[in-house]
Structure 1
Amino acid sequence: MAATENWRCGDCDTFNVPAERVCAICGGTRRGPGPAAAPPRHGAPRPAAKRPAPARPAADWRCTKCDTNNTRDDTTCLVCGAGWKTAAKPAVRKKGPAKRATKRPPPKKTTPAAAPAATPAPAPAPASTPRRESLFHPPPVATGYVPTAPIPTPTPPPAPAPAPRPWTPPPPRRRPGGCGGCLIALVVGGALLFGAQAYLKSQDSGTGGTDGSGTAAACPTRIADELPSGGGAELVEAYRTENKQITLCRTTAGELYYYGEFSDHREAGIAMRATTTSDGYEASNDPYRYVIHGDLVTIYKSDAQIGEETVTPEPSPQ
């Protein structure tokens, strides 16, 4: 009879079946045999003591808190630690051929040697339900979960490098003194024009400009070549300043021109249309304007005076 009696764990007071050598709850080893069973009493038989609930799940189970599959040997969830009694959920199994249930021999009726078995205390629940993010960590191999390699995120190919810009040579450098030379030439031209006017006035008074036969002097050939229809142009008047020469010539069409240049001919002169005023001459090359009056030539730019020089008559311009 002693080999068929349930035995009580000395550590957690849990009754275990005779076939188990360790406690199903705490894992404690079975100690010496329990006290001998009391002799049976005569009379009406007592009802058989109820067998305590099994301390392990009967099959694989799924935790209802974190939805993790556990085996029948696990009494607590592998992920969140919840007890199987409070969080058990039948695990989903693949359909397969049904197995025949094996009949277990009914336990023999025994008289309990001690007080009725106490209900085992449930395993303490975790302080807080774990977050679902914990499922991203792979559980033990016992659950059958095998982590897969992450799928790489497709990235667009890099944009092609822009084509190099074609090389273009730098613009040619302008020679210094171009505009300044033009301005100086215009000033010189104005001065020369003033001198030519004085010279022509002296010609009109009978002191020059015509020979004994009364014919007007010819415009210098190099200047006449710069005038529109300058062939056969006549010299009207010529002037000279400190370093410039002004020559006024009239074409055969009756057009009066002002030609200003440097006295040493370092740069080409400028020819422009001119008119006769009450006291001299006036020529324009927008935005510049040259006015010869008396013994002065005044230069204007957009009606603002920018220079003035003294002129003297040039009797024989070259």
Structure 2
Amino acid sequence: MILKSPEKTPHLSHLEILQSRSHELEPERILAYGKELAGFLGESSLPYFIDLATLPSHQDLYGLRLPYNGHFFQMDSLLLFRTFLLILEAKHLKGKLYFNEANQLIQLKDSEEESIYDHPLIQAELQKQQLTSLLNQLGYPPIPIYTLVAFTHRKAHLSFHHEDMLPLQRLPFRLTELSKMFRDPILSIDQLRGLGKKLLSLHQDRKYDFITDFRSIRNGVFCPNCKPVLMKWYYGKWICRKCQFRDHQAHISALKDFYYLFGNMINNKQAKWFLQLDSVYTTSRMLNQLELPSTGGYKFRRYDLSPLIQKK
């Protein structure tokens, strides 16, 4: 049972929207987007192969970010069994992969470009230590925690052999082996369910800095067919200036972009600018039709865009 599915984090959505809306994208944001996207793709590829394994009942949480001693630690995937817990680290890397003498993971791409990463199994072991301490603080009995690393990219060339660092296709077989290694139940069914719910309640998304310079962002409503071509509001509908596609609700997608770029609150003036509308009255009517929570009087009203995100 999946308690927390693989999904784009707010930070990934923020970086993704910047790719099309930023007038001048900084190199570090391009790199950050690539890293976050690879993490999401890696996590998203795990459930199918986990389902192929012959396993007892378990609860799965993806992208779990938990508090620990004033900081946070994040696990790509955590599988909860009555007999043991499994931390599963996903690495979505292509090219030749090997370890140097310093125990660093080296990625060599076709372009001969070399990248260096922390040892993924050591990463998972550090997460294990933090999770063990957290479970102790929560009053749970000691339970074995195992760590695995799955390389999820189909063009990953592993030039090493390790039973706990394996290509994705090997994952179902290794999971079945592990389930046979741990046979003695530590947690009751109720404890297992309670643990899953407790960890889920402790999850906190990573915070990021909102854009403060509105001039750095390209405003407007993008056509879903020929993005980033803009649409124009004309007699109650959005019309693409290129393909003539029509849509009555295209502004909702743009308002979601605003949410991830600038935060959850928006006023009439900001919405008029971002949607490129000609009239404050049209803007006000459009926002009111969405039935969003709002604060302030007519002139100073601010709308909360959060429900647009929660509906997805």
- In which range does the TM-score fall when normalised by the shorter chain? under 0.3
More strand by share: 2
TM-score under structure 2 length normalisation: 0.18
More helix by share: 2
Q: Rg bigger for which structure? A: 1
Higher RCO structure, 1 or 2 (CA under 8 Å, sep 6+): 2
